[in-house]
Amino acid sequence: MKFNKAIVAMILALVMVVGLCAAAMAEDEPLKIGVIGPFTGGAAIYGNACKYGAEVAAAEINALGGMQIKLLEEDDEHDAEKSKNAYNKVMEDGAQMIAGTTTTKPCIEVGAVANEERVFMLTPSASSVDVIDGKDNVFQVCFTDPNQGTASAQFIAEHKLATKIAIIYNNSDPYSMGIYETFKAEAANLNLEIVSEQAFKDGEVDFSVQVNDAKANGAELVFLPIYYEPASLILATAKSIDYAPVFFGVDGMDGILTLEGFDTSLAEGVFMLTPFSADAEDERTQTFVASYKELTGEIPNQFAADCYDAVYALYNASVNAGIDGTTAYDEACEKLIEQFTGDFQIEGLTGSMSWDESGAVTKTPRAVVIENGAYVGFND
Amino acid sequence: MVSFLRFLINGISLGSVYAIIALGYTMVYGIAKMLNFAHGDVIMVGAYIAFCAISYLALPPLVAILCAMAVCTVLGIIIEGLAYRPLRQASKLAVLITAIGVSYLLQNSALLIWSPNPKVFPTVLDFGSIRLFGGDLVITSQAIITIVANIIIMLGLTAFTGKTKMGKAMRAVSEDKGAAELMGINVNRTISVTFAIGSALAAIAGVLLCSAYPTLQPTTGSMPGIKAFTAAVFGGIGSIPGAMIGGLLLGIIEILGKAYISTELGDAIVFAVLIVVLLFKPAGLLGKPMREKV
């Protein structure tokens, strides 16, 4: 039976080696972050930007050595039901926290499930208040929709763009109303004078009254918390009556330059509140843009930058909280909530960020201005 | 005073767009006695055809308008033949619901073909503008063209229905389909021609609407369509001059209401005026009161 003993010995030795490896692997177990967004379908432009932004961040972090990151990416096609399936899939695959989801509607639904199951979520770009409302485990990298109003007023006051301001808002759209109200409240605190407030409704085509009112009241700046399609009509109307104030839009304005058939000269000098501009000259942005271009062949937009920041924030907070690849997701969730509601801060591509209990982010507002048909970072 | 004149002019140019759409509504209603709720969407199709002809095929504007008219005419005849003709004997409600269905069909087809991304309509009718009072008062060439087109179309339609043989057939069908048929008038053909003319007008209206307010998306026709329908009722539905007057008044009331009362209440004011007018003149401003014979 010598022969059999030898085999047993060999098997035992093998088991020991495997066991040692397993022990060693537990220490090197990467931190697993679920990334969920629409990689296909109508909203794919946002999901893919987010996915590649996260990949650039993960590659940078992994190149530094130290704790490694593994991204678990799942497509949700911007559909709430599919997003829940994607969430279940990444959790089954061992995700410990979620960088996502990218778009608002799925994020509200997935956030509710994650809240019950105690999984930490940091959404890069779902900006509605409903995303974080009543959920202690969901945080945002982007400004909450209405906070864009506050941020815009601060930006205008800080950079002394104007003192007399007109607002044209869509009173049939909660997005526009929310930003309008917070802008007005903050403008009052900052001694910005609002000289004209004019509303319109979805489907309205004639903006002559609104624009004339702004002109007649001597507004130096017209704040447009609206989408780019009515904004394009407002810009054309202003030009037709030789009125050339500063126009200031929020994220809904993004897209005006790609509007088919639009005369981009109309948008010359238009400001847009945005956390990221790809031609900012700091080294970090330049490195990010270069890596992103290498990966995708495209120039990153704000979604890519938001998601890059989300991965870094999750990683740094995990390191601070002593979370590693073996921490259970619910334990990680409580530790991360403690971090994010504590004095955790991070210097990201989209600004210096900190969070409060609500899950909303606090960061310095930034804006770009349109010059020669392109976005240019604004420095005065 | 200058600002009042300015708002008045803006109101007239908005109203003239409503008027030209209302002409199509009133024409079809007057003869076929049905509300073609898809009219606004035929306008949108016309505008897209003109947009494609100008932007992608680089055709001159006039040819583009003719293309749009041709496509819309065919579209109008197809819609009438497939959706409305089989319902000739059905209740008015069935036809109305079908019209709403056609409207959604057109909107969703446009979503598939042209995507929901808005497009900016090229400035084809811009020959500069007239500036008065040191630039305080601007009258755009689009406004002038729209008003002139309105008058020409109104006169043309009145002459057509009054003088030509087809026009007489149309009036006969409008008065009594059964009797007209007995007199040897081809009712189906007459109604087809009515839809063809109405849809060709819709194409012109689409180009004028999008020249004045240059964004184009699959829902472009719906809101102006509803306003124009209101204008047609306001002026007395079925009456051709009534549609013109109703459209102009509606535009003026809308702009003045927004300017002097509140932009928040713009549409509320318009519809409040409509209600008041209908309380006192149920058939509209120029509508003839109908007496049912028993």
Sign of CA dihedral B74, B75, B78, B79: negative
Residues paired with residue B119 on neighbouring β-strands, in sequence order = A260, B216
Asked whether residue B261 is assigned to any structural domain, the reply reads: no
Residue B289 binned pLDDT confidence (cut-offs 50, 70, 90): low
For residue B82, give the DSSP letter.
I
List all residues 6 or more positions away from A301 whose beta carbon is below 8 Å from its beta carbon.
A49, A276, A278
Give me the amino acid identity at A213.
Answer: D
Tell me the two tokens of residue A68.
């490694």
Q: Collapsing DSSP states into helix, strand and coil, what is residue B264?
A: coil
- Contacts with B, A 34-93, CB within 8 Å: none
User: Per the CB < 8 Å rule, is B214 touching A233?
Assistant: yes
Q: Please report residues of A whose CB lies closer than 8 A to that of B219.
A: 203
Indicate whether A250 pLDDT > 60: yes
CA-nearest of A164, A151, A176, A272 to A230 is A176
Tell me the two tokens of residue A200.
């319109």
Least confident of A169-173, B15-19, B263-267: B263-267
Measured CA to CA in angstroms, residue A228 lies from A178, A240, A252 at distances of: 17, 18, 6
- pLDDT given for residue A341 in this prediction: 93
Residue in B with minimal Cα distance to A259: B119
Asked whether residue B286 is assigned to any structural domain, the reply reads: no
Work out the minimum CA distance from A209 to partner chain B, whole angstroms.
6
Q: H/E/C letters for each residue in chain A?
A: CHHHHHHHHHHHHHHHHHHHHHHHHHHHCCEEEEEEECCCCCCHHHHHHHHHHHHHHHHHHHHCCCCCEEEEEEECCCCHHHHHHHHHHHHHCCCCEEEECCCHHHHHHHHHHHHHHCCEEEECCCCCHHHHCCCCCEEECCCCCCHHHHHHHHHHHHCCCCCEEEEEEECCCHHHHHHHHHHHHHHHHCCCEEEEEEEECCCCCCCHHHHHHHHHCCCCEEEECCCHHHHHHHHHHHHHCCCCCEEEECHHHCCHHHCECCCHHHHCCCEEECCCCCCCCCHHHHHHHHHHHHHHCCCCCHHHHHHHHHHHHHHHHHHHHCCCCCCCHHHHHHHHHHHHHCCCEEEECCEEEEECCCCCEECCCCEEEEECCEEEECCC
Tell me which residues of chain B have a C-beta less than 8 Å from any C-beta of chain A.
3, 6-7, 10, 14, 51, 55, 117-122, 129, 135, 138, 140, 209, 212-215, 217, 219, 222-224, 254-255, 258-259, 262-264, 266-267
Tell me, what's the ipTM? 0.81
- pLDDT given for residue A338 in this prediction: 93
How far from the centroid of its chain's Cα atoms is residue A105's Cα? 14
Provide the CATH number for the domain formed by A28-143+282-362 in this structure. 3.40.50.2300
Residue B181 binned pLDDT confidence (cut-offs 50, 70, 90): confident
Sign of CA dihedral A190, A195, A199, A200: negative
Residue in A with minimal Cα distance to B226: A203
Q: Among A168, A196, A205, A215, which would you mutate to test the B interface (most chain B Cβ atoms within 10 Å of its Cβ)?
A: A205
Termini Cα distance of chain A: 87
Structural domain that includes position B64: 14-220
User: Per the CB < 8 Å rule, is B217 touching A229?
Assistant: yes
Residue A117 binned pLDDT confidence (cut-offs 50, 70, 90): very high
Q: pLDDT tens, A259-298?
A: 788 888 888 889 988 888 887 778 899 999 999 999 998 8
User: Which whole number is the average pLDDT over A32-36?
Assistant: 96
Work out the minimum CA distance from A216 to partner chain B, whole angstroms.
9
Residues paired with residue A249 on neighbouring β-strands, in sequence order = A224, A272
For residue B283, give the DSSP letter.
T
Question: What does the alpha-carbon distance between residue A329 and residue A116 come to, in Å, rounded to a whole number?
Answer: 12
Residues paired with residue A351 on neighbouring β-strands, in sequence order = A348
Give me the amino acid identity at A5.
Answer: K
User: Which whole number is the average pLDDT over A74-99?
Assistant: 93
Question: What does the alpha-carbon distance between residue B283 and residue B289 come to, in Å, rounded to a whole number?
Answer: 6
Asked whether residue B245 is assigned to any structural domain, the reply reads: no
- pLDDT given for residue A344 in this prediction: 93
Asked whether residue B206 is assigned to any structural domain, the reply reads: yes
Q: Collapsing DSSP states into helix, strand and coil, what is residue B237?
A: coil
Work out the minimum CA distance from B235 to partner chain A, whole angstroms.
22
Tell me the two tokens of residue B48.
């897209």
CB atoms inside a 10 Å sphere around CB B98 = 21
User: Which whole number is the average pLDDT over A184-198?
Assistant: 92
Work out the minimum CA distance from B262 to partner chain A, whole angstroms.
8
Q: Are strands A374-377 and A367-371 parallel, antiparallel or unpaired?
A: antiparallel
Residue in A with minimal Cα distance to B14: A206
A183 and A157 Cβ atoms separated by less than 8 Å: no
Burial class of residue A28 (count of CB atoms within 10 Å of its CB; 0-12, 13-18, 19+): exposed
User: Which whole number is the average pLDDT over B22-41?
Assistant: 87
Residue in B with minimal Cα distance to A203: B223
Delimit the domains of chain A by residue range.
Answer: 28-143+282-362, 147-274
Q: Please report residues of A whose CB lies closer than 8 A to that of B222.
A: 203
Q: Are strands A221-224 and A164-170 parallel, antiparallel or unpaired?
A: parallel
B60 and B220 Cβ atoms separated by less than 8 Å: no
Give me the amino acid identity at B282.
Answer: P
CA-nearest of A253, A260, A274 to A351 is A274
Q: Is A279 on the interface with B (CB under 8 A)?
A: no
Q: Among A78, A170, A173, A206, which would you mutate to test the B interface (most chain B Cβ atoms within 10 Å of its Cβ)?
A: A206
Please state the domain count of chain B.
1
User: Per the CB < 8 Å rule, is A263 touching B14?
Assistant: no
Q: DSSP readout, B102-146?
A: HHHHHHHHHHHHH-SS-EEPP--S---EEEEGGGTEEEEHHHHHH
Whose structure tokens read 């190149």? A63
Indicate whether B171 pLDDT > 50: yes
Residues paired with residue A361 on neighbouring β-strands, in sequence order = A355
Q: Is A172 on the interface with B (CB under 8 A)?
A: no
User: Per the CB < 8 Å rule, is B213 touching A205?
Assistant: yes
- Contacts with B, A 177-236, CB within 8 Å: 198-206, 208-210, 212-213, 216, 229-230, 232-233, 236
Indicate whether B27 pLDDT > 80: yes
Number of alpha carbons in the 13 Å side-chain half-sphere of residue B165: 3
Asked whether residue B26 is assigned to any structural domain, the reply reads: yes
Closest Cβ opposite residue A199 in set B129, B209, B264: B264
Indicate whether B14 pLDDT > 80: yes
Asked whether residue B294 is assigned to any structural domain, the reply reads: no
Residue A11 binned pLDDT confidence (cut-offs 50, 70, 90): low
Tell me the two tokens of residue A156.
């205008």
- pLDDT given for residue A377 in this prediction: 76
- The proportion of chain A whose per-residue pLDDT surpasses 90, expressed as a percent, equals 54
Residues paired with residue A164 on neighbouring β-strands, in sequence order = A193
- pLDDT given for residue A260 in this prediction: 81
Tell me the two tokens of residue A52.
């590649």
Residue A379 binned pLDDT confidence (cut-offs 50, 70, 90): low
Least confident of A89-103, A339-353, B271-285: B271-285
User: Which whole number is the average pLDDT over A324-342?
Assistant: 93
User: Per the CB < 8 Å rule, is A209 touching B55?
Assistant: no
Q: Among B119, B133, B142, B258, which would you mutate to test the A interface (most chain A Cβ atoms within 10 Å of its Cβ)?
A: B258
Indicate whether B292 pLDDT > 80: no
Work out the minimum CA distance from B220 to partner chain A, whole angstroms.
7
Closest Cβ opposite residue A229 in set B118, B122, B258: B118
Indicate whether A19 pLDDT > 50: yes
Q: Nearest 10 degrees: CA dihedral of B268, B271, B277, B282?
A: -150
Indicate whether A53 pLDDT > 90: yes
User: Per the CB < 8 Å rule, is B7 touching A263?
Assistant: no
Residue A23 binned pLDDT confidence (cut-offs 50, 70, 90): very low
Closest Cβ opposite residue A261 in set B121, B222, B258: B121
CATH 3.40.640.10 fits A147-274, yes or no: no
CA-nearest of B18, B1, B3, B2 to B252 is B18
User: Which whole number is the average pLDDT over A305-320?
Assistant: 95
Q: Please report residues of B whose CB lies closer than 8 A to that of A233.
A: 213-215
A211 and A235 Cβ atoms separated by less than 8 Å: no
Closest Cβ opposite residue B263 in set A199, A232, A261: A199
Asked whether residue B110 is assigned to any structural domain, the reply reads: yes
Residue in B with minimal Cα distance to A241: B138
Whose structure tokens read 């002559």? A208
Work out the minimum CA distance from B118 to partner chain A, whole angstroms.
7
Average pLDDT value for chain A:
88
- pLDDT given for residue B135 in this prediction: 67
Work out the minimum CA distance from B156 to partner chain A, whole angstroms.
28
Question: What does the alpha-carbon distance between residue B176 and residue B44 come to, in Å, rounded to a whole number?
Answer: 32
Residue A198 binned pLDDT confidence (cut-offs 50, 70, 90): very high
Work out the minimum CA distance from A199 to partner chain B, whole angstroms.
5
- pLDDT given for residue A98 in this prediction: 96
Closest Cβ opposite residue B215 in set A171, A202, A232: A232
A232 and A262 Cβ atoms separated by less than 8 Å: yes
Find the helix or strand (DSSP H, E) in which B6 lies: helix B2-32
- pLDDT given for residue A147 in this prediction: 87
Q: Collapsing DSSP states into helix, strand and coil, what is residue B47?
A: helix
Indicate whether A6 pLDDT > 50: yes
User: Per the CB < 8 Å rule, is B215 touching A204?
Assistant: no
Residue B130 binned pLDDT confidence (cut-offs 50, 70, 90): confident
User: Which whole number is the average pLDDT over A137-156?
Assistant: 90
Residue A24 binned pLDDT confidence (cut-offs 50, 70, 90): very low
- The proportion of chain B whose per-residue pLDDT surpasses 70, expressed as a percent, equals 96
